């Protein structure tokens, strides 16, 4: 059992050290962009992976090492060290990994129509909508926002078509070089896959249950690191394959009259006062005209009814009067 554990310990230690060296070489060989705040993430992730590997190796240390086991372990470790573990090459660096994002603030005559046009544009360039929103502002005018992903080779074309949707008030295009980060992940994944393959061979050769359990535990740790690194690599690949365009649509400001400007500025203007008085006078005239119309329409039938009643009453009163005299 000690012999197997020793072999596993030396192999994992050697491969981990080779992987860290390849990672540092990859990070140093790729130029870094000044606008790449996320470039510090691989170093932290590499430190965490190395710490996890060291912890797993420490759990597999043995108290004593027979000479025969040491010789076998040295031979096995030498075979792993002689393997060609890929690192970042100059050919890989030629394939740059760039994350590009664009932002535009567009003033549109018809905000909702411009939003619909931008949505159609996202599909025409082979992309897809990430988010879309429209709302009414405090000024009772429509506003909208759209974010869509577009293939990186159609990014410039998408920006050109977007500029045609209205008057561009603000535009910003940012680029982030993640070449070193991407190939650093590639190198670490390859090294861990080689380590996992060696551990599987040890697992197949294990003769005792406790030996198999120890090797399987270390293999599970390596496979867990592989899943995390592959997830990071896939995320970077997606971000470098598709660029993001974000658009904010704002309405054209309404035309404000001189009277409204003076009123908002609280400046006295005789002309504005005269216009207000004239509007009030016209309003009173309209009210008076409306009253006369109502009076004619409703008052005429009422007067006719009253006249009929008065004639009837007069006739009856005249008859009684004649009877009383006779």
Q: How confident is the model at residue 275 (pLDDT cuts 50, 70, 90)?
A: confident
Rounded Cα gap, residues 61 and 100, in angstroms: 47
| Residue bearing the bigger pLDDT, 30 or 179 | 179
pLDDT at 271 over 90: no
Rounded Cα gap, residues 222 and 199, in angstroms: 9
- Residue written as tokens 């309209």? 286
Q: Poorest-confidence range of 3-12, 233-242, 256-265?
A: 3-12
| Residue bearing the bigger pLDDT, 68 or 240 | 240
pLDDT of residue 227: 94
Share above pLDDT 90 across residues of the chain, in percent, rounded to a whole number: 39
Could you tell me the two tokens for 272?
């504005």
Strands 98-108 and 242-251: parallel
pLDDT of residue 9: 62
pLDDT at 261 over 70: no
Number of H helices, E strands in the chain: 10, 5
Q: How confident is the model at residue 11 (pLDDT cuts 50, 70, 90)?
A: low
E strands, the chain, in order: 98-108, 128-136, 142-151, 167-177, 242-251
pLDDT at 62 over 70: no
CA 259 to chain centre: 44
- Average per-residue pLDDT for the chain: 76
Arithmetic mean of pLDDT, 139-143: 93
Burial class (CB in 10 A: 0-12, 13-18, 19+), 43: middle
Question: What's the CA dihedral at 113, 115, 121, 122 to 10 degrees?
Answer: -160
pLDDT at 326 over 70: no
pLDDT of residue 82: 41
pLDDT at 8 over 60: no
CA 6 to chain centre: 49
pLDDT of residue 238: 85
pLDDT of residue 160: 96
Q: Poorest-confidence range of 49-53, 211-215, 286-290, 316-320?
A: 49-53
pLDDT of residue 158: 95
φ, ψ dihedrals at 70, nearest 5°: -65, -40
Give the model confidence (pLDDT) of 280-307 as tens digits. 999 999 999 998 899 898 888 888 988 8
Give the model confidence (pLDDT) of 164-174 as tens digits. 999 999 999 99
pLDDT of residue 266: 62
Rounded Cα gap, residues 96 and 318, in angstroms: 118
| Residue bearing the bigger pLDDT, 270 or 133 | 133
Eight-class DSSP state of 103: E
pLDDT of residue 24: 46
């Amino acid at each position: 059992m000690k012999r197997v554990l020793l072999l596993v310990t030396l192999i994992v230690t050697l491969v981990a050290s080779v992987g860290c060296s390849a990672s540092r070489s990859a990070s140093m060989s790729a130029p870094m962009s000044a606008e790449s705040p996320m470039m510090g993430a691989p170093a932290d992730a590499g430190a965490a992976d190395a710490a996890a590997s060291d912890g797993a190796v420490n759990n597999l240390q043995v108290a004593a090492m027979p000479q025969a086991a040491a010789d076998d372990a040295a031979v096995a470790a030498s075979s792993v060290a002689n393997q060609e573990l890929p690192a970042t090459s100059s050919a890989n660096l030629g394939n740059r990994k760039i994350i590009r994002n664009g932002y535009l603030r567009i003033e549109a005559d018809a905000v909702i129509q411009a939003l619909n046009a931008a949505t159609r544009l996202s599909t025409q360039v082979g992309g897809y909508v990430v988010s879309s929103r429209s709302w009414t502002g405090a000024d009772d005018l429509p506003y909208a926002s759209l974010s869509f992903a577009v293939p990186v080779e159609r990014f410039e074309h998408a920006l050109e078509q977007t500029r045609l949707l209205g008057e561009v008030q603000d535009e910003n295009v940012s680029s982030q070089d993640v070449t070193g980060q991407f190939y650093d992940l590639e190198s670490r994944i390859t090294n861990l896959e080689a380590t996992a393959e060696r551990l599987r061979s040890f697992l197949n050769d294990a003769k005792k249950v406790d030996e198999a359990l120890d090797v399987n535990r270390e293999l599970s740790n390596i496979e867990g690191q592989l899943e995390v690194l592959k997830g990071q690599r896939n995320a970077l690949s997606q971000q470098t394959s598709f660029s993001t365009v974000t658009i904010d649509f704002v309405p054209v400001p309404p035309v404000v009259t001189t009277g409204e400007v003076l009123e908002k500025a609280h400046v006295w203007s005789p002309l504005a006062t005269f216009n207000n008085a004239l509007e009030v006078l016209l309003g009173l005239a309209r009210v008076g005209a409306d009253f006369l119309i109502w009076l004619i329409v409703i008052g005429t039938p009422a007067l006719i009814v009253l006249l009929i009643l008065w004639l009837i009453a007069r006739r009856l009163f005249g008859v009684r009067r004649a009877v009383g005299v006779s």
